[in-house]
């Protein structure tokens, strides 16, 4: 029976840890060519432009011995040029896996429902599981374990936060969210994550005060205030997120050995100042690298 990676709530904490264990081993073999996916083709169906996601998947598939086929919005426009059902059924006859980066989560769920091959969510409006796996891998590399850690997320309760919150809840990391009114995370996703957190003896707290969220935190996480497709809201968002910038004054409240995380791309001077994202506590490029290794681990689990 085929398995997908659409959202991390479908995976147990043990499975998530197993994936990052595999990612760690793959990282030690960085650059080594393998033959696990020899003769297999992975289709990248992307509605959005991408740097890290596209490159890391293409390189990862190559290093595992497979072939990657990029299909941008010009080739496939899900639900417009061709129905998502037809795309799922057709591609299933040609390829061994579909990696999709879409605007609307209904497209990724529909692809997974109808495809006869594994589907990997490379980003939708609700989830970004591949990013969260790389984040969890980075946290363990830097901190040694998950036990007793607190992550403070300052900003928008978006797809990145949803997946990160779920991953943290599954492995036992406390999460504190601080964002302005009107930008809270999805209620149902929060409740789902809280159920996991309770089982794993950690907590999820939502609030408005960034100083309170960051106090004593081991990890500070930020993301852009204006995501792709939200450009028309830029002026409004910048005004409403005022006070949620991660800067030298805010981080004073954190643990002295905190790490700063950001999924990139970043807007220096908006959600984070340059001295923080380019400073000694920042691990943003370790996160970016770990996208490669975490995704290779996922590909091996679903295809090898």
Q: Which of 202, 291, 293, 295 is catalytic?
A: 291
Domain 131-287 belongs in CATH node 3.30.1360.20: no
> Right CATH number for 8-127+290-303 from 2.40.50.140, 3.40.50.1370, 3.40.50.10900, 3.30.200.210?
3.40.50.1370
Tokens of 150: 């607190």
- CA distance linking residue 286 with residue 274, whole number of Å: 17
If you average pLDDT over every residue of the chain, what do you get? 96
Q: Is 263 assigned a catalytic role? A: yes
Domain ranges of the chain: 8-127+290-303, 131-287
Q: Which of 47, 131, 137, 295 is catalytic?
A: 131
Percentage above 70 pLDDT, the chain: 99
- Residue-wise pLDDT tens digits, 143-185: 999 999 999 999 999 999 999 999 999 999 999 999 999 999 9
Tokens of 185: 């995370």
Q: Which of 176, 202, 263, 287 is catalytic?
A: 263
The reply to whether 8-127+290-303 and 131-287 are identical in fold is yes
Backbone angles phi, psi at 268, to 5 degrees: -60, 135
Which residues have CB under 8 Å from 13's CB, separation 6+? 170, 171, 172, 196, 200
Q: Tell me which of 90-94, 224-228, 270-274 is least confident.
A: 224-228
Q: Is 93 assigned a catalytic role? A: no
- CA distance linking residue 181 with residue 176, whole number of Å: 15
Say whether pLDDT at 192 is over 90: yes
Say whether pLDDT at 261 is over 90: yes
Q: Which of 52, 54, 96, 101 is catalytic?
A: 101
Q: Tell me which of 29-33, 66-70, 111-115, 299-303 is least confident.
A: 29-33
- Residue-wise pLDDT tens digits, 234-254: 899 999 999 999 999 999 999
Q: Tell me which of 1-5, 13-17, 117-121, 224-228 is least confident.
A: 224-228
Looking at residue 154, what is its pLDDT? Answer: 98
Q: Is 130 assigned a catalytic role? A: no
Residue 74 pLDDT level (bands cut at 50, 70, 90)? confident
Q: Is 291 assigned a catalytic role? A: yes
Residue 1 pLDDT level (bands cut at 50, 70, 90)? confident
Q: Which of 223, 245, 262, 287 is catalytic?
A: 223
Q: What does the pLDDT average to over 198-221?
A: 98
Residue 98 pLDDT level (bands cut at 50, 70, 90)? very high
Residues 293 and 23: beta-carbon distance below 8 Å: yes
Say whether pLDDT at 77 is over 80: no
The vertex-196 CA angle with 19 and 12, nearest 5°, equals 25
Residue 268 pLDDT level (bands cut at 50, 70, 90)? very high
Percent helix, strand, coil in the chain, to 5, is: 45, 15, 40
Whose structure tokens read 């290779």?
A: 296
The vertex-231 CA angle with 175 and 234, nearest 5°, equals 70
The dihedral sign for the CA sequence 226, 131, 61, 119: negative
C-beta neighbour count of 137 within 10 angstroms: 27
Q: Is 128 assigned a catalytic role? A: yes
Whose structure tokens read 């999805």?
A: 186
- Between the alpha carbon of residue 103 and those of residues 64, 82, 122, 157, 232, the distances in Å are 28, 16, 11, 16, 16
The vertex-185 CA angle with 181 and 186, nearest 5°, equals 120
C-beta neighbour count of 198 within 10 angstroms: 12
Looking at residue 193, what is its pLDDT? Answer: 98
């Amino acid at each position: 029976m085929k398995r997908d990676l659409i959202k991390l709530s479908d995976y147990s904490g043990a499975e998530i840890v197993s994936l990052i264990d595999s990612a760690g081993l793959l990282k030690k073999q960085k650059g080594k060519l393998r033959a696990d996916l020899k003769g297999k083709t992975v289709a990248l169906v992307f509605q959005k432009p991408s740097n890290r996601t596209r490159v890391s998947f293409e390189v990862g598939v190559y290093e595992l011995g497979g072939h990657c086929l990029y299909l941008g919005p010009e080739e496939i426009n899900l639900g417009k040029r061709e129905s998502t059902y037809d795309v799922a059924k057709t591609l299933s006859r040609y390829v061994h896996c579909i990696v999709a980066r879409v605007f609307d989560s209904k497209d990724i769920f529909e692809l997974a429902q109808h495809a006869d091959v594994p589907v990997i969510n490379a980003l939708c409006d609700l989830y970004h599981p591949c990013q969260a796996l790389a984040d969890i891998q980075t946290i363990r590399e830097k901190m040694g374990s998950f036990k007793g850690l607190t992550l403070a997320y300052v900003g928008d309760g978006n797809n990145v936060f949803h997946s990160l919150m779920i991953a943290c809840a599954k492995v036992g990391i406390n999460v504190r969210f601080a964002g302005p009114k009107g930008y809270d995370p999805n209620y149902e996703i929060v409740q789902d994550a809280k159920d996991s957190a309770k089982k794993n003896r950690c907590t999820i707290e939502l609030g408005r005060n960034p100083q309170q969220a960051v106090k004593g935190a081991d990890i500070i996480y930020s993301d852009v205030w204006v995501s792709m497709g939200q450009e028309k809201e830029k002026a409004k968002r910048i005004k409403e997120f005022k006070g949620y910038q991660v800067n030298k004054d805010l981080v004073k409240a954190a643990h002295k050995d905190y790490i700063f995380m950001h999924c990139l791309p970043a807007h220096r001077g908006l959600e984070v100042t340059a001295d923080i994202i380019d400073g000694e506590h920042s691990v943003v490029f370790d996160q970016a690298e770990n996208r490669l290794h975490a995704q290779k681990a996922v590909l091996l689990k679903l295809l090898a």
